[in-house]
């Protein structure tokens, strides 16, 4: 069984080497000691959410503090092709569920989208709170999945903001029930048109997967996003919920684009 993972701030693992000691504090230490009841001699991973993972052994556990001896420090590179889920706001926390499950499956970033047909609205007074909740949900999912990277929840966008994001991306796919070409075909065609991905500099391509709200993406939105450079694709024979489409597309894209 893999080690439990706890997060620390980016940069705090930079000086760790085999044999050194790292002290985890705060809420993560309380969770490790009080909830998980970790004790001396047990193995654990500490990740900084930005690719560094310390694997070590617990040497001491006290309320609010976990002392770990480092046995290995690994740096997990980002994939050469990053997947970004554009998740339309949806009722009943289905938008959060989509972001959560996509995180477990390997999504690299999430963009909340205020679509024309979104019933849920992030008004000024609740936008910051809602964004923080999404980031918390994504962080918890990354922890559960034992990830070293925590996906970034980017600022929420409206229609114009999403058009700009599509224009800036290397590729953008709108998951749409009226599309003609299947998602597999669309992704394979784009993949085959690209030079080899990867390299020591990190991610060099970004693919947006656009998921609409429960009422679907409006024809006007589809037209504007396609004008900005997006293409439509059919995910399957059936209409999926807003919470299901993004994770399903993440799985397929991860396979086709060589991430898995």
pLDDT of residue 64: 86
What would the pLDDT profile of 52-80 be if each residue is shown by its tens digit? 999 999 999 998 899 999 999 999 998 88
Give the model's pLDDT for residue 126.
83
Q: Which of 190, 200, 194, 183 is nearest to 251 (CA)?
A: 183
Average pLDDT score over the chain: 92
CA–CA separation, 209 vs 214, rounded Å?
A: 16
CA dihedral 99, 89, 242, 147 (to 10 degrees): 0
User: Is the domain 5-75 a CATH 1.10.260.40 member?
Assistant: no
Please say if the pLDDT value at position 199 is more than 70.
Answer: no
Q: Which residues of the chain does CATH 2.40.240.20 include?
A: 5-75
Rounded average pLDDT over 230-240: 90
Q: What percent of the chain has pLDDT over 90?
A: 80
In the chain, CATH 3.40.1280.10 covers 81-257
Average pLDDT of the segment spanning 124-138? 91
What pLDDT shows up at residue 201?
Answer: 42
In degrees rounded to 5, what are phi and psi of residue 56?
-160, -170
Checking if the pLDDT of 246 tops 80, the result is: yes
Alpha helices in the chain (DSSP H): 26-30, 94-104, 124-144, 159-168, 183-192, 219-227, 242-256
**pLDDT over 90 at 176, yes or no:** yes
- CATH dotted code for 81-257: 3.40.1280.10
| Nearest-angstrom CA–CA distance, 24 and 154 | 27
| CB 96, CB 134: distance < 8 Å | yes
| CA separation for the pair 24, 116 (Å, rounded) | 44
Q: Is the pLDDT of residue 200 over 60?
A: no
Q: How much is the pLDDT for 196?
A: 67
Nearest residue to 214 (alpha-carbon basis) of 73, 88, 70, 40: 88
Share of the chain above pLDDT 70, in %: 97
Comparing 119-128, 157-166, 185-194, which segment has the lowest mean pLDDT?
119-128
């Amino acid at each position: 069984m893999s080690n439990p993972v706890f997060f620390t701030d980016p940069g705090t693992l930079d000086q760790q080497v085999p044999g050194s000691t790292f002290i985890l504090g705060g809420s993560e230490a309380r969770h490790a000691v009080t909830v998980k009841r970790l004790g001396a001699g047990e193995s654990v991973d500490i990740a900084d959410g930005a690719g560094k993972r310390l694997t070590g052994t617990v040497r001491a556990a006290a309320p609010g503090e976990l002392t770990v001896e480092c046995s290995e420090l690994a740096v997990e590179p980002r994939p050469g092709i990053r997947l970004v889920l554009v998740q339309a706001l949806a009722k009943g926390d289905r938008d959060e569920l989509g972001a959560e499950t996509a995180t477990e499956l390997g999504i690299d970033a999430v963009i909340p989208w205020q679509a024309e047909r979104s019933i849920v609205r992030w008004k000024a007074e609740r936008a910051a709170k809602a964004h923080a909740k999404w980031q918390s949900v994504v962080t918890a999912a990354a922890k559960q999945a034992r990830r070293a990277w925590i996906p970034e929840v980017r600022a929420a966008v409206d229609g114009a903001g999403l058009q700009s994001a599509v224009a800036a991306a290397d590729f953008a796919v709108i998951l749409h029930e009226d599309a003609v070409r299947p998602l597999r075909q669309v992704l394979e065609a784009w993949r085959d048109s690209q030079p080899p991905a990867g390299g020591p500099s990190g991610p060099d391509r970004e693919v947006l997967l656009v998921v609409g709200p429960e009422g679907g993406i409006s024809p006007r939105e589809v037209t504007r996003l396609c004008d900005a450079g997006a293409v439509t694709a059919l995910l399957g024979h059936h209409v999926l919920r807003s919470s299901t489409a993004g994770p399903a597309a993440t799985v397929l894209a991860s396979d086709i684009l060589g991430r898995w």
